[in-house]
């Protein structure tokens, strides 16, 4: 089974700047995603994307929401339609006339799976946060104190331990960091400092 999207253009440029409202995005999430862990993953990635856009890209309210929305819906179809992962949510958001930038970020969150290269900063950061956020959350679950007192070196140790959260692709993490040109420590710090607040 292939999840390759087989195309490189998403949405219509005429819809540039169009997002769903927060209410619409949340109700799509609630409707499509039954698994609470997956829902939490998407909320965590959404919060990281919004924070990054504001803090590192100087984004205003609208742009930060576009980033956040890409994070919030990137795996929306994974729970109920894993064979159609990515294709289904993209088609749905195309129908709803969403900004092509958001669609492309979602389409490129796993270049090895979907065959779409992350290009923009939004694309790169969604790809970068996706697996790292998951690994750090898995680590928080095995720590009695959760996120509190979590240190960089603990995360790096788990990253090297291939049997830990084995479904988290270390290759994707390295590939994403390389493409975004960011220091691994910087991104890990960024996640540790924020992710515990999302529940
Ligand atoms: Fe995914
Ligand atoms: Fe994900």
What confidence score (pLDDT) does residue 5 get? 98
Is 7 a member of any domain? Answer: no
What own/partner pairs with CB < 8 Å and gap ≥ 24 does 51-54 have?
51/190, 51/194, 52/125, 52/129, 52/190, 53/122
Is 181 a member of any domain? Answer: yes
Q: What is the percent of the chain where pLDDT is above 70?
A: 100
pLDDT(1) > 90: no
Is 144 a member of any domain? Answer: yes
State the average pLDDT over residues 140-148. 97
Residue range(s) defining the domain that contains residue 108: 16-195
Encoded tokens for 12: 């219509």
Residue 65 CB-density burial (10 A; 0-12 exposed, 13-18 middle, 19+ buried): buried
CA of 148 relative to ligand 1 center, distance in Å: 27
**CATH number for the domain including 71?**
1.10.3210
CA of 23 relative to ligand 1 center, distance in Å: 22
CA of 110 relative to ligand 1 center, distance in Å: 7
Is 176 a member of any domain? Answer: yes
Whether this model's pTM surpasses 0.75: yes
Q: Distance between CA 64 and CA 58 in Å, rounded? A: 9
Is 2 a member of any domain? Answer: no
pLDDT(199) > 90: no
Return left, alpha or beta for 150; rule: phi > 0 is left, psi -120 to 50 is alpha, else beta: beta
Q: Distance between CA 44 and CA 47 in Å, rounded? A: 5
Ligand nearest to the CA of residue 82, numbered in listed order: 1
CA of 130 relative to ligand 2 center, distance in Å: 5
CA of 74 relative to ligand 2 center, distance in Å: 6
State the average pLDDT over residues 5-18. 98
- State the average pLDDT for the chain: 97
CA of 86 relative to ligand 1 center, distance in Å: 7
Which residues fall inside 5 Å of ion ligand 2, going by CB?
75, 130
User: Per residue in 163-188, pLDDT tens?
Assistant: 999 999 999 999 999 999 999 999 99
User: Per residue in 55-112, pLDDT tens?
Assistant: 999 999 999 999 999 999 999 999 999 999 999 999 999 999 999 999 999 999 999 9
How many CB atoms within 10 Å of residue 136? 25
Enter the DSSP assignment of 168: S
Is 6 a member of any domain? Answer: no
Is 137 a member of any domain? Answer: yes
Number of domains in the chain: 1
What confidence score (pLDDT) does residue 126 get? 98
Q: 170 by DSSP, 3-state: which?
A: helix
CA of 80 relative to ligand 1 center, distance in Å: 13
CA of 73 relative to ligand 2 center, distance in Å: 9
Contacts of 64 (CB under 8 A, 6+ apart): 50, 53, 54
Is 178 a member of any domain? Answer: yes
């Amino acid at each position: 089974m292939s999840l390759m999207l087989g195309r490189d253009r998403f949405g219509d440029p005429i819809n540039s700047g169009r997002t769903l409202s927060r209410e619409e995005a949340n109700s799509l999430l609630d409707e499509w995603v039954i698994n609470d862990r997956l829902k939490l993953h998407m909320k965590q990635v959404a919060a990281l994307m919004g924070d990054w856009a504001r803090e590192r890209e100087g984004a205003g309210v609208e742009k930060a929401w576009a980033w956040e929305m890409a994070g919030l819906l990137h795996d929306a179809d994974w729970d109920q339609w894993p064979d159609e992962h990515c294709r289904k949510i993209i088609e749905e958001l195309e129908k709803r006339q969403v900004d092509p930038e958001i669609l492309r970020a979602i389409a490129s969150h796993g270049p090895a799976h979907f065959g779409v290269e992350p290009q923009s900063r939004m694309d790169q950061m969604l790809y970068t946060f996706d697996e790292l956020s998951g690994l750090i959350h898995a680590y928080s679950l095995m720590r009695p104190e959760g996120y509190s007192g979590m240190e960089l070196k603990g995360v790096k140790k788990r990253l090297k331990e291939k049997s830990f959260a084995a479904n988290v692709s270390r290759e994707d993490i390295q590939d994403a960091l390389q493409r975004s040109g960011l220091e691994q420590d910087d991104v890990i710090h960024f996640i540790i400092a924020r992710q515990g607040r999302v529940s």
